[in-house]
Chains A and B, each alone.
Chain A
Amino acid sequence: MIGQGNPHTGKTLLFVPGNSFIHRINPLTKLVGLLWLAATTFMLPPMGMAVVFIAAFAFGVIAGAGAVFVRRLVLTVTPFAIALFVIHGLLIKRPDMIDYGLISLSPGGLTYMAHILVRVAALLTASMLFVTTTHPAILLKSLDSHGISPGIAYLISSPLLLIEPFSARARAIRDAQQARGLDLNGSWKARIKAFPALLIPLVTLALSDLDQRASVLDGRAFRARPFRVVLDAPVDQPYERWLRRLLLLALPVQIGLLLWL
Chain B
Amino acid sequence: MALIAIENLVFAYGPKMPVILDGLSLSIEAGERVAILGGNGSGKTTLAHWIAGWLPRAAMNATSGAVLANGKAWPAWTALERAEAVQFVGQIPMQQLSGFAFTVYDELVFGPGNLGLEPDEIRKRADWALDICNLRHLVDRDPFTLSGGEQQRLSIAAALVMHPKALVLDEPTGNFDPESRDNLLDQINRLPSDLTIILCDMALKPALAIAKRFVLLDGGRIVADGGAQEILSHPRTSAIFGMPAVMEAALLLQQAGHWPAGEDLPLTFGRAQEQFGRITHVAG
Binding site for B on A (CB under 8 A): 1-2, 6, 8-10, 135-137, 140, 144, 150, 153-154, 157-158, 161-162, 164-165, 208-209, 212-213, 215-225, 227-231
Q: Known: A1-B140, A231-B119. Contact between A157 and B83, CB under 8 A?
A: no
**Residue B133 lies at the interface, judged by CB distance under 8 Å to chain A:** no
Binding site for A on B (CB under 8 A): 49, 52-54, 57, 78-80, 82-83, 87-88, 90, 92, 94-103, 105-106, 109-119, 122-123, 139-145, 158, 162
Q: Known: A220-B111, A224-B79. Contact between A161 and B99, CB under 8 A?
A: yes
The contact of B145 among A9, A140, A230, by CB within 8 Å, is A9
- How many inter-chain residue pairs (CB < 8 Å) link A and B? 130
Q: Known: A154-B100, A229-B122. Contact between A1 and B105, CB under 8 A?
A: yes
A221 contacts which chain B residues (CB < 8 A)? 79-80, 82-83, 111, 114-115, 162
Nearest-CB residue, chain B, relative to A222: B114
CB distance from B97 to the nearest CB of A (A): 8
Nearest-CB residue, chain B, relative to A228: B113
- State in angstroms the CA–CA spacing of A218 and B162 once bound together: 13
Where chain A touches its partner, the secondary structure class is helix
Nearest-CB residue, chain B, relative to A159: B99
A10 contacts which chain B residues (CB < 8 A)? 102, 142, 144-145
Nearest-CB residue, chain B, relative to A13: B102
Q: Known: A217-B98, A224-B80. Contact between A8 and B54, CB under 8 A?
A: no
Excluding A8-B102, A222-B110, 7 further A-B contacts by CB distance (< 8 Å) are A1-B105, A2-B140, A135-B102, A137-B101, A224-B79, A225-B115, A228-B116
A230 contacts which chain B residues (CB < 8 A)? 113
- State in angstroms the CA–CA spacing of A104 and B222 once bound together: 85
CB distance from B108 to the nearest CB of A (A): 10
- State in angstroms the CA–CA spacing of A227 and B99 once bound together: 18
Q: Are B145 and A219 in contact (CB under 8 A)?
A: no
Q: Are B78 and A219 in contact (CB under 8 A)?
A: no
Q: Are A158 and B139 in contact (CB under 8 A)?
A: no
Q: Are A1 and B113 in contact (CB under 8 A)?
A: no
A and B contact pairs by CB, cutoff 8 A, 10 listed? A2-B140, A150-B114, A158-B100, A161-B99, A208-B95, A220-B110, A220-B114, A223-B114, A224-B80, A225-B116
- State in angstroms the CA–CA spacing of A238 and B33 once bound together: 53
Nearest-CB residue, chain B, relative to A169: B94
B83 contacts which chain A residues (CB < 8 A)? 219-221, 224
Q: Known: A1-B103, A225-B116. Contact between A212 and B82, CB under 8 A?
A: no
The contact of B158 among A158, A164, A220, A229, by CB within 8 Å, is A220
Q: Are B109 and A231 in contact (CB under 8 A)?
A: yes
B117 contacts which chain A residues (CB < 8 A)? 229
Q: Are A161 and B122 in contact (CB under 8 A)?
A: no
Q: Known: A218-B79, A221-B79, A224-B80. Contact between A157 and B123, CB under 8 A?
A: no
Q: Are A6 and B113 in contact (CB under 8 A)?
A: no
Q: Are B140 and A165 in contact (CB under 8 A)?
A: no
Q: Known: A6-B140, A164-B144, A216-B95. Contact between A228 and B114, CB under 8 A?
A: yes
The contact of B98 among A135, A144, A213, by CB within 8 Å, is A213
B105 contacts which chain A residues (CB < 8 A)? 1
Q: Are A212 and B100 in contact (CB under 8 A)?
A: no
Nearest-CB residue, chain B, relative to A6: B140
Nearest-CB residue, chain A, relative to B155: A216
Q: Known: A154-B100, A224-B114. Contact between A212 and B142, CB under 8 A?
A: no
Most buried by A among B49, B87, B90, B95: B95
CB distance from B107 to the nearest CB of A (A): 10
Q: Known: A220-B110, A220-B114. Contact between A2 and B102, CB under 8 A?
A: yes
B123 contacts which chain A residues (CB < 8 A)? 231
B52 contacts which chain A residues (CB < 8 A)? 219
A165 contacts which chain B residues (CB < 8 A)? 94, 144
Nearest-CB residue, chain A, relative to B91: A212
B88 contacts which chain A residues (CB < 8 A)? 215-216, 219
The contact of A161 among B96, B112, B114, B144, by CB within 8 Å, is B144
A231 contacts which chain B residues (CB < 8 A)? 109, 113, 119, 122-123
- State in angstroms the CA–CA spacing of A137 and B109 once bound together: 13
Q: Are A219 and B119 in contact (CB under 8 A)?
A: no
B82 contacts which chain A residues (CB < 8 A)? 219, 221
Which 5 A-B residue pairings sit nearest by Cβ, starting from the closest? A221-B83, A220-B111, A158-B99, A137-B102, A224-B79
Most buried by A among B113, B116, B123, B141: B113
